[in-house]
Structures are given as structure tokens and as C-alpha cells.
Amino acid sequence: MQRLGAVLGCIALAALAGCATRADLVDVQKDQRAVRALLADQQVAIDGLRRRMDMLRSELGEPGRGRRGAPAPEAARELSDLEARVAALEQTRATGPLPGATPPGVEVEHPPLEATPPPPPTPTAPKVLGPQEAALAKEEAAAQGARVDGDFREGLSLVRQGQCTQAVPKLRDFIRKNQKSDFADNAQYWIGACYYGQRDYSRSIVELNDLVLKYPKGDKVPPALLMMADAFADSGDKIDARLVLQKLMSQYPQTEEAGRARQKLQSLSE
């Protein structure tokens, strides 16, 4: 945003001497797209926080109790923290510069129609899944070499871009139309991963548990259990987190996830 303001200032100075250069205009257009992508990503984060706030408000409606039997004050503190985070994000959106605006009095030189081609697209928005990057790349590579419905590939692409609001319906459509596919459990896993990346831990736990119940022999069960344990721990429920980790180590002792589960279990016990 600071770069956009600086470029606009340079254009205003150039206007005093004549008109802005084509390079100035291209730089402004690039920064405008970057700002729009940032604002869209912020909106996704705000929507996820609001869903979590609605869930907490519902839980606080039960007299004297909060999430999963926790005291109501704990849920109230989390709700207050979420409200503050949403307010901060909305304040950032409100005070940021509006993309697409041209300073008054600036005469911009437009290139001829047959001139230079449009600038390359702006890099994709920040990814939601961070630690899942390697697993996502492996999944995409496997899908490329297999006969699989296009909804699955498109869903993975949207997950990579952090567009989980659009990715989840695509992945659900794939599961509905391909219930016996070897990739059905994979699609269910990335639905749970999407909600986990948005910090909607309760919904992530539900989706990952569906995977474990519907596809007990699938190769996504161990990573689903590991992520489910993380979701419990991140939501403050260390007891259930330990139980899930113990189940993972007991039923899938030879997997890579079992080794990571042992480390996580030790950290939760400290």
C-alpha cells in the first residue's frame, strides 16, 4: 500500500511537467491488483472469524457452560478476542487506499491499442495451508497422472490459492459424483484442511472425523488424525488431542504421522 501511494505521488509530480509515463501507469495497475488481492484475502479471514464467533455465541447460550464443557468465561474470553481481531481487520480495510483511484488533475498518457502487451498476472494470494504445502504439491502431481474428475483438480488449485470458499463446494461435488474413487478420501481431507487453515477448528474436526469413519482403509486416515489432534489442541482441548494422537500411534505405528504424533504428545504432556 505504501508503494502504491508513492507511485501515485510520482505521477502527480510528473503531471506538473506534462503527463505520466507508460511505465508509471503499469506500476500503478500492478499495485492496484495487489491491493485487491490483499483485501479479498482479508475478507476470507474475517468471514472465518465471524463463523467461529457465531459458534461461540451459540455455546454461551447454554447456562454456565462453554465449548466442550469448558467454563463459560473461557469461551467468553475467546469470543472477545475474536471480536477484537475482526475489528482490527475491518479497520485495516477501512483505512487502506482505494485501488483504482487516479489523483485529480493527473493526465495519464494511454498507449496505442497495438502497443506493448498487458503486464503479467500478479502472483496468487497468500496460501492458507502453509505446513501442508508439500502434501498439496504431491497430491496435485498424483492427480495429474490419473483419470480423475476435473472438480478434484480445480478444488486443489483453489486450495493452493487460499480460495477455500470456492474450493470446498468443488471438492464436495467430486465426492458426491465419485464416492468409490481412490481420491474421495483425499478430497474429504482437503475439505477438513481448508477449515483448519481458516481456524474453524470445530468444523475441521467434523470433516476429518467423517473421513476416518467413511474411508477407514484410506491412506489419508493417518494425516487426518494428526490434523484432528492439532485442531483439538489449537482450540484448547488437550485431552481429546492426546486421545487422537494415542489412537494414531496405536493403529498406524509404522507411519510417518505416528512419529510426529509421539513428538506432539510429549509436548502436550509438558
pLDDT digits (tens, 9 = 90+) for 73-101: 666 777 677 677 767 767 665 655 444 44
Overall pTM > 0.75:
no
Give a yes or no: residue 110 inside a domain: no
Does 55 lie in the same domain as 160?
A: no
Q: What is the pLDDT of residue 140?
A: 76
Q: What is the pLDDT of residue 2?
A: 45
Q: What is the pLDDT of residue 103?
A: 42
Q: What is the pLDDT of residue 108?
A: 43
What range does the domain containing 62 cover? 2-95
- Angle at 206 (CA atoms; ends 58, 200), nearest 5 degrees: 60
Give a yes or no: residue 100 inside a domain: no
Closest CA to 51 of 210, 201, 224: 201
Does 180 lie in the same domain as 79?
A: no
The grid coordinates of residue 251 equal 493403529
Q: What is the pLDDT of residue 134?
A: 74
The number of domains in the chain is 2
CB atoms within 10 A of CB 249: 19
Give a yes or no: residue 79 inside a domain: yes
Q: What is the distance between the alpha carbons of residues 212 and 215, in angstroms, rounded to a whole number?
A: 6
Does 79 lie in the same domain as 165?
A: no
Q: What is the distance between the alpha carbons of residues 86 and 84, in angstroms, rounded to a whole number?
A: 5
Say if CB 19 and CB 107 are below 8 A apart.
yes
Q: What is the pLDDT of residue 61?
A: 67
Give a yes or no: residue 208 inside a domain: yes
Does 198 lie in the same domain as 79?
A: no
Q: What is the pLDDT of residue 54?
A: 77
Pick the last residue of a domain from 75, 95, 115: 95
Query: Which CATH number goes with the domain that contains 175?
Result: 1.25.40.10
User: Which residues of the chain, if any, have pLDDT below 70?
Assistant: 1-42, 44, 56, 59-75, 79, 82, 86, 89, 91-131, 145-146
Give a yes or no: residue 107 inside a domain: no
Q: What is the pLDDT of residue 119?
A: 60
